[in-house]
Structure 1
């Protein structure tokens, strides 16, 4: 009987030891991958490529806006007119020119590398979205470094990289992945400036780095999708000002120089499109596209709270952890 029991005890021991060994190996691999800043960045970049590249080159166009963006960019490159935005014989003034310039740069680069018929390959127009998604993950890491350890920042970036919605947007030739990059950059820069003010660091010689990132991201975000980035950043600033009963930290953002830099980047195209199309662009993009989203647009109506419900699916697997962290954040 003793001999008969021994194998079962040994087998039970194996089952309990194997998970421990696996967990230990996984922990050691994670420690190795995050042992330095450069290893962490390389690890996150490779993870993004593993998550985003499957299907990137082979999935056909699945979104009607993706086709419209790609066709408008193709016509822009063929015509050599990088100011006006046209879809077939009509104007397309729903979004500013930023994403079309990025897609045009991708098309010209891929064509210069000798890829045949690059202008009709949808994956070429998706390259800015892939770059935007990877950049948003890396900037999530950079932003989180202001609050937590390097390992914690890597985990935050991994949650962003693995979420369902970003995986979808990385494979679509649209604005959203690149807009996420600009918003994450702006919020990360703002966090650094705000925390330096909270810590009482010397305001006489503040760093130029975070303000430069903030205002540049703001300008690129405006060129991508108009004033949306201003809403994200502005609401965060207003919330901090209300909680702290002060907005003195904002002067560390070098707002005078920053606004001038933003206008230098943004105004030239807006002036050119105004001279070309008059008020038509602003009426179509702001009135016809952005403000119309306050109601049902293109049969996309849904009751209030739908996005909050979808969050638990689209941000999976990070959504449950976000819910668990909500009390601590509050």
Structure 2
């Protein structure tokens, strides 16, 4: 059983600030050198850039099409970051990623704070480190998408609930500020991704109330009037977008985007239940093994109040997203802080707990298999850098190899500690391996992978050969949003026939990007003008979004008189 006492003192402000600074520094490398990561990230970037250009902060658009998927909150945050940095007239990526950097750094701090409020300072610090070091967190913190900011609002709501839970344990009234934080966080979450925040934030106190047959924690949140605060944050924009879009936003965002993901897998992401559990090994690495190790103990302690509270945070959210048809790894990200807290709390019990754990032979076998899989994932991540540079760029990167040689011994040391049931030392070793891995990956490896970053190289090709100050660009074979963003939104994504028609209509100022597979159709559509088509340069590489190898040429019609 978990050693649990009421009235744990949370981590000191100094410790939380140092942890937040460590998270900030860990998440910082790579965000300036990594191009827009297709496909979602550049869609947010381009829509935000257009919002700043048009000064229309209600009707979100990607080129000439409305982007009626979620409310405008994330676009406002990114627009604010870009404006503050003075980069609104430049298509550089790092300002758009500032909200995710700050939000995920804050999420690490809140994870540690909640963990320490429930189980003490050691458990809180361990939870913050395990969460900070996970693969999915390292990836999401570097992308200008919603999920890091949404997670921060989830944790703010859970912080209010945790405070109310402590008030209940101590037999004192819950101050109104907790209810204001709770409903304010929910309102902000609604402005980011609609009703998604309601799953963890409402399910936690309501499911807990059903299990305990006492909804006292829920009543401490003042639901009779608290929802009005959330509504006050959300409703003004809803009214504005309803008027502007004539109700189309709600039909698309709710009917197509939200309910559509429940009924069927969208964008080729339909997968059966169990997907998130399978991906957890990688997504929460290195904490995934330790979470699996403590899972039986967590279940045995499920009737303890704080454990039950965290399970009511995790299980409803996890079940919902295992059940819906569309699945992506970040859908269960809001459960990761709670998993990290439970894992760290049981790891803090000390080595004696683990020497004969698990007790049964079949449990030892299953856990050993999972440990081997965990170690293999660690080895694969360690060697991924130099392997990618060799496979994609046909180069040997000495720096990437040195970094891999630094990560591998730490993974090996963690595995050795696991075999000796020294899980605390194993966790620290694996966290150190993860930190070194991410720093090396985003500072050394990513900048060398030029073949997969087609959009920046195509943009450079266009800018080097644009025939007019206001050139028109048509792309036939590469339609990724990253190209749209980097070219300032001024690119027409179309087929070979329409591209040929556009080039013929304005031969002086129009250029076309055409892959070798589409070149015959493009030339055929040009007809007798095909003889005047001139290639201004060629870019080759891999479109990682669909796995196609492309060799794209920039074509223009020669308008100079023939001799």
TM-score range, shorter chain: 0.7 to 0.9
Note if 1:324 corresponds to 2:293: yes
* SS of aligned partner of 1:84: coil
- From the superposition, tell whether residues 250 and 36 of structure 1 become closer, same or farther in structure 2 (CA, over 3 Å): closer
CA positional deviation for 1:127: 0.8
CA positional deviation for 1:256: 3.0
Which residue is 1:15 aligned to?
A: none
Q: Is the 8 A contact 2:116 2:122 kept in 1?
A: no
Which residue is 2:182 aligned to?
A: 214
1:118-145 CA-partner distances (Å, limit 9, x unpaired): 6411111111111111111111112112
* SS of aligned partner of 1:253: coil
Q: Is the 8 A contact 2:206 2:218 kept in 1?
A: no
Which residue is 1:26 aligned to?
A: none
Note if 1:307 corresponds to 2:276: yes
In 2: Cα distance, 1:118 partner to 1:318 partner: 41
CA positional deviation for 1:320: 1.6
Pair member with larger Rg: 2
In 1: Cα distance, 2:180 partner to 2:221 partner: 8
CA positional deviation for 1:246: 1.5
CA positional deviation for 1:95: 1.3
- From the superposition, tell whether residues 239 and 173 of structure 1 become closer, same or farther in structure 2 (CA, over 3 Å): same
In 1: Cα distance, 2:213 partner to 2:50 partner: 51
CA positional deviation for 1:165: 0.3
Which residue is 2:132 aligned to?
A: 161
Q: From 169, 180, 186, give the equivalent of 2:157.
A: 186
In 2: Cα distance, 1:81 partner to 1:46 partner: 35
Q: Which has the higher helix share?
A: 1
1:185-243 CA-partner distances (Å, limit 9, x unpaired): 1122112213322x25133xx21232222111101100000000101222222320221
Which residue is 2:112 aligned to?
A: 141
* SS of aligned partner of 1:226: helix
In 2: Cα distance, 1:169 partner to 1:101 partner: 19
Q: From 168, 171, 195, give the equivalent of 1:201.
A: 171
In 2: Cα distance, 1:261 partner to 1:36 partner: 30
In 2: Cα distance, 1:290 partner to 1:119 partner: 33
Q: Is the 8 A contact 1:126 1:171 kept in 2?
A: yes
Q: From 55, 75, 79, give the equivalent of 2:50.
A: 75
Gaps spanning 5+ residues in structure 2: where?
1-9, 300-563
- From the superposition, tell whether residues 258 and 313 of structure 1 become closer, same or farther in structure 2 (CA, over 3 Å): same
Superposition TM-score, scaled by structure 2 size: 0.50
- From the superposition, tell whether residues 166 and 36 of structure 1 become closer, same or farther in structure 2 (CA, over 3 Å): closer
Which residue is 2:39 aligned to?
A: 64
In 1: Cα distance, 2:30 partner to 2:82 partner: 19
In 1: Cα distance, 2:172 partner to 2:108 partner: 31
1:262-315 CA-partner distances (Å, limit 9, x unpaired): 111111101111111122111111111111212210111222211111111101
Q: Is the 8 A contact 1:130 1:170 kept in 2?
A: yes
Structural mapping, 1:258-297, within 5 Å? 258-294=226-262, 295-297=264-266
Which residue is 1:127 aligned to?
A: 98
* SS of aligned partner of 2:95: helix
In 2: Cα distance, 1:256 partner to 1:121 partner: 46
In 1: Cα distance, 2:200 partner to 2:192 partner: 14
1:67-110 CA-partner distances (Å, limit 9, x unpaired): 11000000101111111111100100111100000000001100
Q: Which has the higher strand share?
A: 2
In 1: Cα distance, 2:153 partner to 2:269 partner: 26
Comparing 182-191 and 101-110, the one that deviates more: 182-191
CA positional deviation for 1:155: 1.1
Q: Is the 8 A contact 2:81 2:96 kept in 1?
A: yes
Superposition TM-score, scaled by structure 1 size: 0.83
Q: Is the 8 A contact 1:128 1:178 kept in 2?
A: yes
Note if 1:38 corresponds to 2:13: yes
- Alignment length, in residue pairs? 289
Q: Relative contact order (C-alpha < 8 Å, sep 6+): which is higher?
A: 1
1:166-203 CA-partner distances (Å, limit 9, x unpaired): 11011111000111111111122112213322x25133
In 2: Cα distance, 1:296 partner to 1:67 partner: 22
Q: Is the 8 A contact 1:311 1:319 kept in 2?
A: yes
Comparing 43-52 and 268-277, the one that deviates more: 43-52
* SS of aligned partner of 2:119: coil
In 2: Cα distance, 1:215 partner to 1:118 partner: 36
Which residue is 2:200 aligned to?
A: 232
Q: Is the 8 A contact 1:130 1:171 kept in 2?
A: yes
Gaps spanning 5+ residues in structure 1: where?
1-34
Note if 1:98 corresponds to 2:69: no
Comparing 311-320 and 167-176, the one that deviates more: 311-320
Q: Is the 8 A contact 1:118 1:124 kept in 2?
A: no
CA positional deviation for 1:36: 6.4
Q: Is the 8 A contact 1:107 1:118 kept in 2?
A: no
